[in-house]
Amino acid sequence: MSTVLQIKQVTKSYGAAPALDAVDFSLPDDAYISLLGPSGSGKTTLLRVIAGFEEPDSGSILFHGKRLDGVQPRDRGIGFVFQNFALFPHLSVAENVAFGLRNRKVDPVTDPRALASRVQDMLALVGLKGFDDRAVTQISGGQRQRVALARTLVTEPKMVLLDEPLGALDANLRGRMRSELKIIRERCGVTFLHVTGSESEALAMGDLVLVLDRGRIAQAAASDVVYNSPASAAVARYLNCYNLFAGAVVEDAFVGPAGRFPLNASRRKAPQPAYAIRYDRVAIRPRDARLSDDEVRIEGDFIASEYSGAAVNSFFSLDGGHVFEVESHLSHARPPAFVEKDRYALVWKKEDALVFG
Protein backbone atom coordinates (compact mmCIF):
# COMPACT_ATOMS: atom_id res chain seq x y z
CA MET A 1 0.00 0.00 0.00
CA SER A 2 1.44 3.36 -0.95
CA THR A 3 1.52 6.38 1.31
CA VAL A 4 -0.56 9.42 0.43
CA LEU A 5 0.19 11.74 3.34
CA GLN A 6 3.07 12.07 5.78
CA ILE A 7 2.85 14.37 8.78
CA LYS A 8 6.26 14.89 10.34
CA GLN A 9 6.64 16.46 13.78
CA VAL A 10 3.98 19.09 13.09
CA THR A 11 3.50 21.63 15.87
CA LYS A 12 0.99 24.48 15.91
CA SER A 13 0.28 26.85 18.79
CA TYR A 14 -2.25 29.64 19.08
CA GLY A 15 -1.29 30.68 22.59
CA ALA A 16 0.54 29.00 25.41
CA ALA A 17 -0.50 25.35 25.02
CA PRO A 18 0.13 23.81 21.59
CA ALA A 19 -2.99 22.77 19.67
CA LEU A 20 -0.75 20.27 17.83
CA ASP A 21 2.33 18.95 19.59
CA ALA A 22 4.86 17.13 17.39
CA VAL A 23 2.19 15.22 15.49
CA ASP A 24 3.64 12.41 13.43
CA PHE A 25 1.88 9.83 11.25
CA SER A 26 1.46 8.52 7.70
CA LEU A 27 -1.73 7.68 5.87
CA PRO A 28 -2.12 4.94 3.25
CA ASP A 29 -3.65 5.65 -0.14
CA ASP A 30 -7.20 4.49 -0.89
CA ALA A 31 -8.32 4.02 2.72
CA TYR A 32 -10.90 5.26 5.19
CA ILE A 33 -9.17 6.85 8.17
CA SER A 34 -10.92 7.97 11.35
CA LEU A 35 -9.44 10.67 13.54
CA LEU A 36 -10.95 10.42 17.02
CA GLY A 37 -10.48 12.88 19.85
CA PRO A 38 -12.48 14.83 22.40
CA SER A 39 -13.45 18.44 21.82
CA GLY A 40 -10.39 20.69 21.92
CA SER A 41 -7.89 17.91 21.20
CA GLY A 42 -6.74 19.59 17.95
CA LYS A 43 -8.74 17.70 15.30
CA THR A 44 -9.91 20.74 13.34
CA THR A 45 -6.50 22.37 13.64
CA LEU A 46 -4.88 19.27 12.18
CA LEU A 47 -7.27 19.25 9.21
CA ARG A 48 -6.73 22.99 8.64
CA VAL A 49 -2.98 22.54 8.63
CA ILE A 50 -3.22 19.67 6.14
CA ALA A 51 -5.59 21.68 3.91
CA GLY A 52 -3.31 24.73 4.07
CA PHE A 53 -5.67 27.12 5.88
CA GLU A 54 -3.03 27.30 8.62
CA GLU A 55 0.74 27.00 8.44
CA PRO A 56 2.40 24.79 11.06
CA ASP A 57 4.93 26.48 13.40
CA SER A 58 7.33 23.64 12.69
CA GLY A 59 7.44 20.24 11.05
CA SER A 60 6.50 19.26 7.54
CA ILE A 61 3.68 17.75 5.53
CA LEU A 62 4.35 15.59 2.49
CA PHE A 63 1.58 14.77 0.04
CA HIS A 64 2.46 12.06 -2.47
CA GLY A 65 6.06 12.59 -1.33
CA LYS A 66 6.15 16.35 -2.04
CA ARG A 67 6.40 19.02 0.65
CA LEU A 68 3.32 21.21 0.89
CA ASP A 69 5.00 24.25 2.48
CA GLY A 70 3.75 27.41 0.84
CA VAL A 71 1.36 25.57 -1.52
CA GLN A 72 -2.02 27.37 -1.56
CA PRO A 73 -5.02 25.36 -0.29
CA ARG A 74 -6.67 25.31 -3.73
CA ASP A 75 -3.49 23.96 -5.33
CA ARG A 76 -3.07 21.06 -2.92
CA GLY A 77 -5.54 18.62 -4.48
CA ILE A 78 -7.05 18.08 -1.05
CA GLY A 79 -10.81 18.40 -0.58
CA PHE A 80 -12.39 19.71 2.63
CA VAL A 81 -15.93 19.01 3.82
CA PHE A 82 -16.72 21.54 6.54
CA GLN A 83 -18.47 20.76 9.78
CA ASN A 84 -21.42 23.05 8.98
CA PHE A 85 -21.38 22.06 5.25
CA ALA A 86 -20.77 25.74 4.23
CA LEU A 87 -23.09 25.59 1.21
CA PHE A 88 -24.02 28.72 -0.76
CA PRO A 89 -27.58 29.35 0.41
CA HIS A 90 -28.60 31.35 -2.67
CA LEU A 91 -27.50 28.63 -5.12
CA SER A 92 -29.37 25.47 -6.08
CA VAL A 93 -28.07 21.97 -5.40
CA ALA A 94 -26.61 21.68 -8.92
CA GLU A 95 -25.10 25.18 -8.80
CA ASN A 96 -23.45 24.43 -5.47
CA VAL A 97 -21.85 21.32 -6.94
CA ALA A 98 -20.87 23.06 -10.20
CA PHE A 99 -19.26 25.94 -8.34
CA GLY A 100 -16.10 24.08 -7.35
CA LEU A 101 -15.56 22.70 -10.82
CA ARG A 102 -16.14 25.99 -12.62
CA ASN A 103 -13.82 27.85 -10.28
CA ARG A 104 -11.13 25.26 -9.93
CA LYS A 105 -7.69 26.68 -10.68
CA VAL A 106 -6.31 23.70 -12.53
CA ASP A 107 -8.39 22.72 -15.54
CA PRO A 108 -11.65 24.59 -14.75
CA VAL A 109 -14.74 23.27 -16.54
CA THR A 110 -16.75 26.09 -18.12
CA ASP A 111 -18.55 24.40 -21.03
CA PRO A 112 -22.17 24.22 -19.81
CA ARG A 113 -22.80 20.74 -21.20
CA ALA A 114 -19.61 19.25 -19.82
CA LEU A 115 -20.34 20.93 -16.50
CA ALA A 116 -23.92 19.64 -16.39
CA SER A 117 -22.85 16.12 -17.18
CA ARG A 118 -20.18 16.09 -14.45
CA VAL A 119 -22.66 17.51 -11.93
CA GLN A 120 -25.19 14.80 -12.88
CA ASP A 121 -22.61 12.07 -12.34
CA MET A 122 -21.72 13.49 -8.98
CA LEU A 123 -25.32 13.85 -7.81
CA ALA A 124 -25.91 10.24 -8.81
CA LEU A 125 -22.83 9.17 -6.86
CA VAL A 126 -24.06 10.76 -3.63
CA GLY A 127 -27.66 9.65 -4.12
CA LEU A 128 -29.16 13.03 -5.07
CA LYS A 129 -30.36 12.30 -8.59
CA GLY A 130 -33.21 14.65 -9.53
CA PHE A 131 -32.44 17.22 -6.82
CA ASP A 132 -30.60 19.59 -9.21
CA ASP A 133 -32.96 22.54 -9.01
CA ARG A 134 -33.79 22.36 -5.34
CA ALA A 135 -32.67 25.22 -3.15
CA VAL A 136 -30.17 24.01 -0.55
CA THR A 137 -32.40 25.62 2.06
CA GLN A 138 -35.21 23.26 1.04
CA ILE A 139 -33.54 19.91 1.56
CA SER A 140 -32.88 17.85 4.69
CA GLY A 141 -29.69 17.84 6.75
CA GLY A 142 -28.63 14.53 5.26
CA GLN A 143 -29.16 15.86 1.74
CA ARG A 144 -27.16 19.01 2.52
CA GLN A 145 -24.38 16.76 3.76
CA ARG A 146 -24.44 14.94 0.41
CA VAL A 147 -24.34 18.23 -1.51
CA ALA A 148 -21.30 19.30 0.52
CA LEU A 149 -19.62 16.01 -0.29
CA ALA A 150 -20.53 16.22 -4.00
CA ARG A 151 -19.21 19.77 -4.21
CA THR A 152 -15.87 18.57 -2.86
CA LEU A 153 -15.66 15.32 -4.84
CA VAL A 154 -16.51 16.93 -8.19
CA THR A 155 -13.11 18.68 -8.14
CA GLU A 156 -11.46 15.22 -8.07
CA PRO A 157 -9.35 15.70 -4.96
CA LYS A 158 -6.57 13.19 -4.26
CA MET A 159 -7.67 13.08 -0.65
CA VAL A 160 -10.71 14.33 1.30
CA LEU A 161 -10.77 15.81 4.81
CA LEU A 162 -14.14 15.64 6.59
CA ASP A 163 -14.62 17.60 9.82
CA GLU A 164 -17.29 15.88 11.94
CA PRO A 165 -19.36 15.31 8.79
CA LEU A 166 -22.18 13.50 10.59
CA GLY A 167 -22.27 15.71 13.66
CA ALA A 168 -25.22 17.81 12.48
CA LEU A 169 -27.41 14.83 11.56
CA ASP A 170 -29.92 13.02 13.75
CA ALA A 171 -28.99 9.59 15.08
CA ASN A 172 -30.96 7.61 12.50
CA LEU A 173 -29.47 9.36 9.54
CA ARG A 174 -26.00 9.29 11.08
CA GLY A 175 -26.12 5.50 11.04
CA ARG A 176 -27.15 5.35 7.39
CA MET A 177 -24.65 7.98 6.26
CA ARG A 178 -21.82 5.93 7.82
CA SER A 179 -22.23 3.16 5.30
CA GLU A 180 -23.01 5.62 2.48
CA LEU A 181 -19.78 7.50 3.07
CA LYS A 182 -17.81 4.28 3.01
CA ILE A 183 -19.43 3.22 -0.27
CA ILE A 184 -18.87 6.62 -1.88
CA ARG A 185 -15.23 6.57 -0.81
CA GLU A 186 -14.72 3.12 -2.26
CA ARG A 187 -16.12 4.29 -5.58
CA CYS A 188 -13.75 7.28 -5.68
CA GLY A 189 -10.72 5.30 -4.48
CA VAL A 190 -9.18 8.22 -2.58
CA THR A 191 -8.29 8.46 1.09
CA PHE A 192 -10.89 10.01 3.40
CA LEU A 193 -9.70 11.45 6.71
CA HIS A 194 -12.86 11.61 8.81
CA VAL A 195 -12.77 13.59 12.05
CA THR A 196 -15.18 12.58 14.78
CA GLY A 197 -15.72 12.88 18.50
CA SER A 198 -17.75 9.66 18.47
CA GLU A 199 -15.84 6.52 19.37
CA SER A 200 -18.42 4.22 17.79
CA GLU A 201 -18.29 6.19 14.54
CA ALA A 202 -14.48 6.15 14.51
CA LEU A 203 -14.29 2.41 15.15
CA ALA A 204 -17.08 1.53 12.73
CA MET A 205 -15.75 3.56 9.83
CA GLY A 206 -11.97 3.59 9.95
CA ASP A 207 -9.72 1.06 8.26
CA LEU A 208 -7.23 2.89 10.44
CA VAL A 209 -8.08 4.89 13.56
CA LEU A 210 -5.94 7.77 14.81
CA VAL A 211 -6.59 8.92 18.35
CA LEU A 212 -5.67 12.50 19.20
CA ASP A 213 -5.08 13.40 22.85
CA ARG A 214 -4.25 17.02 23.71
CA GLY A 215 -2.54 17.68 20.39
CA ARG A 216 -0.64 14.41 20.25
CA ILE A 217 -1.30 11.14 18.44
CA ALA A 218 -1.99 8.72 21.27
CA GLN A 219 -2.56 5.72 19.00
CA ALA A 220 -2.71 4.87 15.30
CA ALA A 221 -3.98 1.36 14.61
CA ALA A 222 -6.76 -0.76 13.14
CA SER A 223 -10.16 -0.44 14.88
CA ASP A 224 -10.00 -3.81 16.60
CA VAL A 225 -6.53 -3.08 17.94
CA VAL A 226 -7.61 0.29 19.35
CA TYR A 227 -10.72 -1.30 20.86
CA ASN A 228 -9.03 -4.34 22.38
CA SER A 229 -5.67 -2.80 23.26
CA PRO A 230 -5.92 0.95 23.80
CA ALA A 231 -2.40 2.37 24.01
CA SER A 232 -3.01 4.46 27.11
CA ALA A 233 -5.54 5.25 29.81
CA ALA A 234 -6.50 8.38 27.84
CA VAL A 235 -7.36 6.31 24.76
CA ALA A 236 -9.33 3.85 26.90
CA ARG A 237 -11.25 6.80 28.36
CA TYR A 238 -12.20 8.21 24.93
CA LEU A 239 -13.40 4.80 23.78
CA ASN A 240 -16.13 5.04 26.38
CA CYS A 241 -16.25 1.30 26.98
CA TYR A 242 -13.77 0.85 29.83
CA ASN A 243 -14.13 1.24 33.58
CA LEU A 244 -10.97 3.05 34.65
CA PHE A 245 -9.38 3.10 38.07
CA ALA A 246 -6.51 5.15 39.44
CA GLY A 247 -4.02 3.56 41.80
CA ALA A 248 -0.71 1.73 41.60
CA VAL A 249 0.75 -1.73 41.19
CA VAL A 250 1.79 -3.02 44.62
CA GLU A 251 3.44 -6.44 44.44
CA ASP A 252 0.88 -8.82 42.92
CA ALA A 253 -2.10 -6.47 42.72
CA PHE A 254 -3.35 -3.14 41.48
CA VAL A 255 -4.36 -1.15 44.54
CA GLY A 256 -6.46 2.00 44.58
CA PRO A 257 -9.35 3.69 46.34
CA ALA A 258 -11.81 1.33 44.62
CA GLY A 259 -10.15 -1.80 45.98
CA ARG A 260 -7.43 -4.35 45.38
CA PHE A 261 -7.40 -6.16 42.04
CA PRO A 262 -5.07 -9.20 41.88
CA LEU A 263 -2.96 -9.20 38.69
CA ASN A 264 -1.59 -11.85 36.37
CA ALA A 265 2.16 -12.25 36.68
CA SER A 266 2.73 -10.55 33.31
CA ARG A 267 0.91 -7.37 34.42
CA ARG A 268 2.85 -6.80 37.66
CA LYS A 269 4.93 -3.89 36.47
CA ALA A 270 5.31 -0.73 38.54
CA PRO A 271 4.77 2.15 38.09
CA GLN A 272 1.41 1.69 36.36
CA PRO A 273 -1.13 4.17 37.71
CA ALA A 274 -4.22 3.12 35.74
CA TYR A 275 -6.30 -0.04 35.53
CA ALA A 276 -9.05 -0.67 32.99
CA ILE A 277 -11.71 -3.31 32.49
CA ARG A 278 -14.01 -3.20 29.47
CA TYR A 279 -17.77 -2.92 30.10
CA ASP A 280 -18.51 -6.12 28.20
CA ARG A 281 -15.93 -8.21 30.06
CA VAL A 282 -17.76 -8.02 33.36
CA ALA A 283 -20.32 -10.48 34.75
CA ILE A 284 -22.94 -9.50 37.30
CA ARG A 285 -23.37 -12.14 40.01
CA PRO A 286 -25.11 -12.51 43.36
CA ARG A 287 -22.93 -11.25 46.22
CA ASP A 288 -22.37 -14.74 47.61
CA ALA A 289 -21.35 -16.33 44.27
CA ARG A 290 -18.05 -18.23 44.36
CA LEU A 291 -14.99 -16.72 42.77
CA SER A 292 -12.39 -18.75 40.86
CA ASP A 293 -8.65 -18.15 41.08
CA ASP A 294 -8.43 -16.33 37.75
CA GLU A 295 -11.18 -13.84 38.62
CA VAL A 296 -11.34 -10.41 40.20
CA ARG A 297 -14.37 -9.04 42.00
CA ILE A 298 -15.73 -5.79 43.30
CA GLU A 299 -19.10 -4.95 44.82
CA GLY A 300 -21.54 -2.30 43.69
CA ASP A 301 -25.10 -1.13 44.27
CA PHE A 302 -27.34 -1.37 41.22
CA ILE A 303 -28.50 2.02 39.92
CA ALA A 304 -30.24 1.43 36.58
CA SER A 305 -30.12 -0.33 33.20
CA GLU A 306 -30.29 1.08 29.71
CA TYR A 307 -31.39 -1.00 26.73
CA SER A 308 -29.77 -0.25 23.38
CA GLY A 309 -30.67 -2.74 20.66
CA ALA A 310 -28.50 -5.80 21.07
CA ALA A 311 -27.11 -4.95 24.51
CA VAL A 312 -28.11 -3.71 27.93
CA ASN A 313 -25.84 -1.45 29.94
CA SER A 314 -26.15 -1.63 33.72
CA PHE A 315 -24.77 0.95 36.12
CA PHE A 316 -23.51 0.29 39.63
CA SER A 317 -22.37 2.65 42.32
CA LEU A 318 -19.12 1.54 43.99
CA ASP A 319 -18.14 2.45 47.54
CA GLY A 320 -16.68 5.90 47.19
CA GLY A 321 -19.15 6.97 44.51
CA HIS A 322 -17.39 5.77 41.31
CA VAL A 323 -19.98 4.60 38.75
CA PHE A 324 -19.17 1.22 37.20
CA GLU A 325 -20.71 0.14 33.89
CA VAL A 326 -21.41 -3.37 32.62
CA GLU A 327 -22.49 -4.20 29.08
CA SER A 328 -24.38 -7.48 28.63
CA HIS A 329 -25.06 -8.67 25.11
CA LEU A 330 -28.54 -9.96 24.51
CA SER A 331 -27.56 -12.59 21.93
CA HIS A 332 -27.86 -15.30 24.58
CA ALA A 333 -30.38 -14.55 27.29
CA ARG A 334 -31.73 -11.33 28.63
CA PRO A 335 -30.06 -10.79 32.01
CA PRO A 336 -32.30 -10.97 35.06
CA ALA A 337 -33.83 -7.73 36.29
CA PHE A 338 -31.61 -6.27 38.98
CA VAL A 339 -33.05 -4.64 42.04
CA GLU A 340 -32.33 -0.97 42.56
CA LYS A 341 -29.99 -0.25 45.49
CA ASP A 342 -29.27 -4.01 45.94
CA ARG A 343 -25.64 -5.01 46.13
CA TYR A 344 -24.09 -7.29 43.47
CA ALA A 345 -20.70 -8.81 42.75
CA LEU A 346 -19.07 -7.50 39.55
CA VAL A 347 -16.65 -10.11 38.32
CA TRP A 348 -14.05 -10.25 35.56
CA LYS A 349 -11.06 -12.33 34.56
CA LYS A 350 -7.61 -11.13 35.63
CA GLU A 351 -6.39 -11.58 32.08
CA ASP A 352 -9.06 -9.24 30.68
CA ALA A 353 -7.84 -6.25 32.68
CA LEU A 354 -5.46 -3.71 31.17
CA VAL A 355 -2.87 -1.92 33.25
CA PHE A 356 -1.34 1.30 31.96
CA GLY A 357 1.93 3.01 32.71
CB of 167 to Mg ion, least distance (A): 9
Based on the shown chain and the rule CB under 6 A, indicate whether residue 42 belongs to the binding site for ligand ADP.
Answer: yes
Contact residues for 323 (Cβ-Cβ < 8 A; gap 6+): 303, 315, 316, 317
Task: Report the residue from 19, 101, 160, 346 that binds ligand ADP according to the rule CB under 6 A.
Answer: 19
Task: Report the residue from 34, 41, 96, 328 that binds ligand ADP according to the rule CB under 6 A.
Answer: 41
Residue number, 41 or 191, with CB nearest to ligand ADP: 41
Q: Which does 142 bind (CB under 5 to 8 A by kind): ligand ADP, Mg ion, none?
A: none
Based on the shown chain and the rule CB under 6 A, indicate whether residue 16 belongs to the binding site for ligand ADP.
Answer: no
Based on the shown chain and the rule CB under 6 A, indicate whether residue 45 belongs to the binding site for ligand ADP.
Answer: yes
Based on the shown chain and the rule CB under 6 A, indicate whether residue 53 belongs to the binding site for ligand ADP.
Answer: no
Closest CA to 219 of 23, 9, 39: 23
Span of 39-47, 112-120, 185-193, 324-332 interacting with ligand ADP by CB under 6 A: 39-47
Span of 32-40, 89-97, 130-138, 338-346 interacting with ligand ADP by CB under 6 A: 32-40
CB of 56 to Mg ion, least distance (A): 17
CB of 42 to ligand ADP, least distance (A): 4
Q: Residue 215 in contact with residue 20, Cβ under 8 Å?
A: yes
Contact residues for 353 (Cβ-Cβ < 8 A; gap 6+): 254, 261, 263, 267, 275, 276, 277, 296
What are residue 217's phi and psi, to 5 degrees?
A: -80, 115
282: which DSSP letter?
Answer: -
Q: Residue 58 in contact with residue 69, Cβ under 8 Å?
A: no
Q: Residue 220 in contact with residue 51, Cβ under 8 Å?
A: no
Cα–Cα distance measured from residue 341 to residue 246, given in angstroms and rounded to the nearest whole number: 25
Length of the chain measured in residues? 357
CB of 300 to Mg ion, least distance (A): 36
Task: Report the residue from 10, 43, 97, 98 that binds ligand ADP according to the rule CB under 6 A.
Answer: 43
Based on the shown chain and the rule CB under 6 A, indicate whether residue 234 belongs to the binding site for ligand ADP.
Answer: no
Residues lying near ligand ADP in the complex (CB under 6 A): 14, 19, 37, 39-45
